[in-house]
């Protein structure tokens, strides 16, 4: 058996980490704030109802704990939106898509176009108001860990989707 393991210098292969990433649309922050404000309104509403209906909770410490918990949750959410937003960025290369997100726990995803089975473009009622869209890449990875990129402009999302489809058709032709 002949063993073959030549050295490949790092510089000779494309480096995904060196490409500049583009941030998602600033308006997406408004969408995030809107979505979270709905969540907090519901949570506060439930808490108020529980506190009014249950007399055992009419104590200063119970109210203080609830208020502190809600305020802390709101502070963490705000921080995660503000700081996390700075990290939410993407880049399109000739053969793959790079996407980064997260605040404390950050993730970078690289999805080669050849592995994309199909992509889904999604818009919600709030996103539509700001002309934003989400793009979901479906690959054959069996454990349902497909990547969604939120906060793209509708035009960009359409262009990326078109580009990927075009690339896939090109690859299929080459394969034939």
Partner 1 sequence: MQEKQFDWHTPQKLSPYAFLFIIGKVIKQSWAFLLLFVGSKILKNNGGADDKTMGYFVCLVGGFIVVMSIPHVIQYFRFRIFIKDNELVVLKGLFTRKVINIPINKIQSVHAVQSYLHRFTETCELKIETAGEENTEVEIKAIDQEKAYALQELLKNKPATIDTITTAEPETILGVGFWDIIKLSISENHIKTFLLILAYLLTKMDDVRNLFGIDTAKKINQEADKINYTTNIILAFTVTILVITLIVSFIRVLLRFYNMKLKISEKGFETEWGFLQTQRKLLIKENIQSITWKNNLLQKILGIKILRVFMAGEKLTNPTQWIRIPIMRERLLEQISSIYQSIWPSQVAPANGIDTSYKWRNTLIVVTPLAVTAAVIVYFKSPWLTLIPLAVLIYFTISNIILQHNYTFWFHQNSIQILKGVWGREQTMLNFKNVQHIEIKTSPFLRAHHLCTIILHSAGEAPFTIPYIPVAQANYIANWCLVRVEFPETM
Residues that bind partner 1 (CB under 8 A): 1, 3-6, 8, 10, 13-17, 95-96, 104-112, 114-115, 117, 137, 139-143, 145, 147
Provide the minimum distance between the beta carbon of 70 and partner 1 in the complex, in angstroms, as a whole number: 24
Q: Which is nearer to partner 1, 123 or 139 (CB)?
A: 139
Task: For partner 1, give the closer residue by CB, 28 or 113.
Answer: 113
Of 25 and 96, the one with the shorter C-beta distance to partner 1 is: 96
CB of 174 to partner 1, least distance (A): 9
Least distance CB 114 / partner 1 (angstroms):
6
Judged by beta carbon, residue 132 or residue 147, the one nearer partner 1 is: 147
Which residues are within 8 A (CB) of 133 and not within 5 positions of it... i.e. 6 or more apart? 121, 122, 123, 127, 152, 153, 154, 157, 158
Pairs from 17-20 (Cβ < 8 Å, separation ≥ 24) = 19/91, 19/93, 19/98, 20/91
Q: How far apart are CB 4 and partner 1 at their closest, in Å?
A: 8
Nearest to 149 by CA among 163, 161, 141, 140: 161
Query: Whose structure tokens read 């990927």?
Result: 164
Question: Sheet of 147-153: strands edge to edge?
Answer: 116-122, 132-139, 147-153
């Amino acid at each position: 058996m002949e063993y073959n393991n030549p050295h490949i210098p790092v510089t000779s292969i494309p480096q995904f980490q060196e490409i500049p990433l583009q941030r998602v649309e600033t308006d997406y922050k408004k969408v995030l704030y809107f979505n979270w404000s709905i969540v907090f309104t519901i949570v506060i509403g439930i808490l108020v109802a529980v506190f009014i209906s249950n007399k055992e909770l009419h104590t200063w410490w119970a109210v203080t704990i609830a208020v502190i918990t809600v305020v802390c949750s709101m502070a963490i959410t705000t921080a995660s939106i503000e700081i996390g937003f700075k990290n939410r960025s993407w880049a399109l290369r000739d053969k793959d898509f790079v996407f980064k997100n997260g605040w404390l726990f950050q993730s970078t995803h690289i999805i080669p176009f050849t592995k994309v089975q199909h992509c889904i473009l999604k818009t919600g009622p709030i996103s539509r108001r700001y002309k934003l869209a989400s793009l979901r890449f479906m690959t054959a990875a069996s454990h349902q860990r497909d990547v969604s990129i939120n906060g793209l402009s509708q035009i960009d999302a359409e262009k990326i989707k078109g580009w990927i489809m075009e690339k896939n058709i090109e690859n299929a032709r080459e394969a034939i």
